[in-house]
Amino acid sequence: MLSRIAESVYWMSRFLERTDNTARLLDINLTHLLEADEAGSEELQWAPLLHIVAGNEVYQRIFPDGAVTGARMIRYMVQEKGNSGSIYAALKGARENARVARDRVSKEMWEALNEFWLQVDGHVTHRLSPERESVFFKHVRAEVARFHGLTVSTMLRGDAFSFYLLGTFLERADMTARILDVKYHRLLPDVAQVGSPLDYYQWGALLKSLSGFEAYRRHYHGGIRPLDVVDLVVFSRHFPRSLHFAVDRMTQAIQEIGTSQVDCAVCRALEGLSALLTARAPEEVVREGLHEFLTDYLDQLSTLHASLQNEYFEAHLGMEQCVI
């Protein structure tokens, strides 16, 4: 398989996952603002999303006065072409990468993605009205879910499918860790407060943003507790958006691709992530510092991405006949 095709499939899936994550964050935030009777400025309600998507620097360039409002954040995260994480930019990136990998993407996948892009391109030409925002975000999430379903049911199994899984779960793990880090510290700025009465809507919004609210209620029966949320979102091997689930799926994908490297940096990065998750219990992580734990996890994810880039995507530049 050509390295440029592998990289295109990887980025196609990362951009699609990013599209879904951005729509999910905005929709949950809007719902939370309607449901929760919470005091606080408009900036306080929206600024955490900038931290989650690591968008402060770009936002400052687009809005030099730095003021954060709901309308600006919707524009920034939906239609801003200068923001590579916006729904518009991410979906455009997914389509362009799918075009490069056209012979590895099924006809059904390509048609669904192309139709999805044309719909979004038409929607974001003008500013979304408040009454259309939630409908639009739900539509985006439904279209990404449809694409994932078509991929599972129509894409030929092999290296391309494994790179698709790598991109999906690396992007998902990155966003899950960022959401948990920002939301956890917003809810519990002081570790000493762990165990104190919690705002049901705040924690519910965190779980809903990860599609984990129903799963949490089925497995934990003592109300919403920080330790149980960490147990589900970080350590569960059965919850599809947990950090551990993502590492397991990426490890399986790399094993199916195989490696000719004697000293495999990608394998070492995955082993490091797995060791980080199996060495400690939720209580220990919270006691020692969840922020530090998640920072370590995100650093190792970044190392994994760099290793993939070096060993699979750039190693054969100019040697397009080389087989991975």
What pLDDT shows up at residue 318?
Answer: 46
What pLDDT sits at residue 208? 87
pTM strictly above 0.85: yes
HEC readout, 119-174: HHHHHCCCCCCHHHHHHHHHHHHHHHHHHHHHHHHHCCCCHHHHHHHHHHHHHHHH
- Residue pLDDT, tens place only, 256-266: 998 766 678 99
Top-confidence residue, 273 or 193: 273
Is pLDDT of 173 > 70?
yes
Give the model's pLDDT for residue 322.
35
Model confidence at 320, pLDDT cuts 50, 70, 90, reads very low
Average pLDDT over residues 316-322: 44
d(CA 8, CA 12): 6
Handedness of CA 91, 96, 97, 98 (dihedral sign): positive
Answer with the residue of higher pLDDT: 45 or 79: 79
Contact between 166 and 12 under an 8 Å Cβ cutoff? The reply is: no
What's the rounded mean pLDDT across residues 61-66?
92
Instruction: Kindly tell me if the per-residue pLDDT of 221 is higher than 80.
Output: yes
**Average pLDDT score, the chain:** 87
Residue 321 is predicted with a pLDDT of 38
220/204 Cα distance (integer angstroms): 13
Contact 324, 316 (CB under 8 A): yes
Taking residues 285-306, report their average pLDDT. 93
Q: Reduce the DSSP state of residue 115 to 3 states and report it.
A: helix
Q: What pLDDT score was predicted for residue 284?
A: 92
Name the token pair of 111: 């048609």
Look up tokens 């669904």; give the residue.
Answer: 112
Which tokens hold the place of 134? Answer: 């939630």
Q: How far apart are CA 143 and CA 172, in angstroms?
A: 17
pLDDT at residue 40 in the model: 65
Mean per-residue pLDDT for 56-64? 92
Residue 174 has pLDDT above 80, yes or no: yes
Give the pLDDT confidence score for residue 188 in this predicted structure: 58
Query: Which pLDDT does position 140 carry in this prediction?
Result: 94
What is the reported pLDDT for 260? 67
Q: What is the DSSP string of 63-99?
A: STT----HHHHHHHHHT-TT-TTSHHHHHHHHHHHHH
- How far is residue 315's CA from residue 34's CA, in Å, rounded to a whole number? 50
Total residues found in the chain within this entry: 324
For residues 32 and 204, give the distance between their C-alpha atoms in angstroms, rounded to a whole number: 9
d(CA 222, CA 322) in angstroms, rounded, equals: 55
Spatial distance between the Cα atoms of 208 and 90, rounded to a whole number of angstroms: 22
**Average of pLDDT values for 59-75?**
92
* Nearest residue to 48 via CA among 187, 171, 231: 187
CA distances from 59 to 28, 98, 128, 272, 315 (A): 21, 28, 19, 33, 34
- pLDDT computed for residue 324 by the predictor: 35
